[in-house]
Amino acid sequence: MTDFAADSILVMVDVMPSGEVAKSAAGLLGAASGVGTPVAVVVTTPDLLSGAAEQAASLGAHVVLTATGDTSVLSAPAVDALVAAAGLVRPDAVLVSNSIEGRDIAGRFAARTRSGLAADAIGVSRDDEGIVAHHSVYGGAYNVDSAVTFGAPVITVRQGAIDSRAEAQPLNALPLEVAPAGAPAATVESFDQVQATSTRPELRGAAKVVAGGRGLGSKEKFELVDQLADALGAAVGASRAAVDAGYVPHSYQVGQTGVSVSPQLYIALGISGAIQHRAGMQTAKTIVAINKDGDAPIFEIADFGVVGDVFTVVPQLIAALEAKKK
C-alpha cells in the first residue's frame, strides 16, 4: 500500500494512440508540482502502458497510477480510472488537459463525483483554503480566479499555458483497481492519426506565429504566409475569414473559436483584426500587422504596423531577413 502525500495533485495524462504521452502532460505535471505532489493517472492499452508510465515519471510524477483501457471506447475507461484514482489518493485537486478528450473526461468525472469544475485555467495556485484556478476570459480582456466550495476542484488546463516543468522522478508505478461504472459510451470505429507533414512548429504553443487573412486573396497566394513563416521558423495560422474562404484548413484558425496562441511574436498578414481573431492572439508579446487598410482594427493593438501591400512588403522583409542571416 502506497502512502500518498497529503498535498497530492492528481494529473490525468492523455496518451496518444502511438503510446506517446500528449504534449500537455509536461505542463500539467509542472503546474501540479508548483502546488503539491504530482500523481499521474495513465490509461492506455497494455502494450503501451509501461512506456507511457515511464514518460509520466520523467515529466515529474511521483507516483504513476496505471490502468488498461480499451481505446475503442470513448472516454469511459479514463473516467473510471480517474474515479478510482481520486478515491485512492484523496487529492487536493484534479488536473486535466483542456483538450477535446480531456474536457470530456473532466466533465464526466465532475458530474459523477459532484465535484466543482473550473475550465480552461491558465495557471493554478494554492491559498489557505485550497487550490485556486486562474483564468483569462473574454479573449484575455479579464483575469478571473475561481475556487470550489468544498472538495478537490477539477481543473482543465489550457494547452501550452504552463511554462514551468517538474523535476524528473524515478518510476513508481502502481496498477489501479478500477471498477467500471458501466456508463454507456460511444464507440471509436476508426482512427486516422494526424501525419506530421510539416517541419514547422505546431501552432499551439509556438514561440512565433505568422498568420494570414482574407487579404491574401487566394489559396495559392496564401503561400506567402508559409514563406515568411519558414524564414522566421514560425508556425502558420489564419483568420476565420481565410479559413472560410478555403485557403487553409480549420485547424489553422486563430481566435475565439479556433486556437488561442500567446507567442513571443505574432505577425498578421492581410488580417483586419475582427474582435474574434484578436481574442485568440492579443496576449502575444509582440504583434506586427501588415494591411492595406490603414483603419483596420488590428493596428489598434499592433506594436509595429505597416500600412501597405503584403505582396510587396513581405517579399522585401524575407529578403532583408535572409540578408541579416549572412
The DSSP element (H or E) to which 313 belongs, if any, is helix 310-325
**62 belongs to an annotated ligand binding site:** no
Q: Which positions ≥6 away from 9 have C-beta within 8 Å?
A: 32, 35, 36, 37, 38, 39, 91, 92, 93, 94, 95, 131
Quote the CA–CA distance of 194 and 205 in Å, as a whole number. Answer: 17
Q: Which is nearer to another protein, 63 or 121 (CB)?
A: 121
Rg (the chain; Cα; Å): 22
The yes or no reply on residue 130 touching another protein (CB under 8 A) is no
Q: What minimum distance in Å lies between the beta carbon of 59 and another protein?
A: 17
Q: Which stretch binds another protein (CB under 8 A): 34-42, 62-70, 97-105, 214-222?
A: 97-105
What residues from 240 to 259 belong to the interface with another protein (CB under 8 A)? 250-251, 256-257
72 or 172: CB nearest another protein: 72
Residue closer to another protein, measured from CB, 63 or 267:
267
Q: Which of residues 260-279 bind another protein (CB under 8 A)?
A: 264-265, 274-276, 279
The piece of 10-18, 41-49, 50-58, 161-169 that touches another protein (CB under 8 A) is: 10-18
**Exposure on the CB side of residue 245, measured as CA atoms within 13 A:** 17
Residue 148 binding another protein, by CB under 8 A: yes
Q: Report, in Å, the least distance between residue 187 CB and another protein.
A: 5
Segment (H or E) for 290: strand 286-291
Chain positions 12 to 31 lying near another protein, rule: CB under 8 A, are 14, 16-18, 22
Q: Which three cell numbers stand for residue 193?
A: 492519426
256 marked as part of a ligand binding site: yes
Q: Which residues contact 66 (CB under 8 A, 6 or more apart)?
A: 42, 43, 49, 53, 173, 174, 175, 176
User: Looking at 47, 187, 199, 220, which residue binds another protein (CB under 8 A)?
Assistant: 187
Q: Does residue 186 belong to the site contacting another protein (CB under 8 A)?
A: yes
Question: Does residue 294 touch another protein according to CB under 8 A?
Answer: yes
- Contact between 223 and another protein by CB under 8 A: the answer reads no
Asked if 189 interacts with another protein (CB under 8 A), we say yes
Minimum distance, C-beta of residue 241 to another protein, in the bound complex (Å): 13
Task: Please identify, using beta-carbon distances, which residue of 37 and 253 lies nearer to another protein.
Answer: 253
CA 274 to CA 255: how far, in whole Å?
A: 9
Residue at grid coordinates 489557505? 128
Nearest residue to 14 via CA among 110, 146, 157: 157
Does residue 194 bind another protein (CB under 8 A)?
yes
Region class of 118: left (phi > 0), else alpha (psi between -120 and 50), else beta: beta
- Told to check if 99 binds another protein by CB under 8 A, we report yes
Give the footprint of another protein on residues 54-93 (CB under 8 A): 74-75
CA dihedral 305, 208, 277, 296 (to 10 degrees): 10
Residue ranges of the binding site for FAD: 214, 239-240, 253-257, 270-277, 291
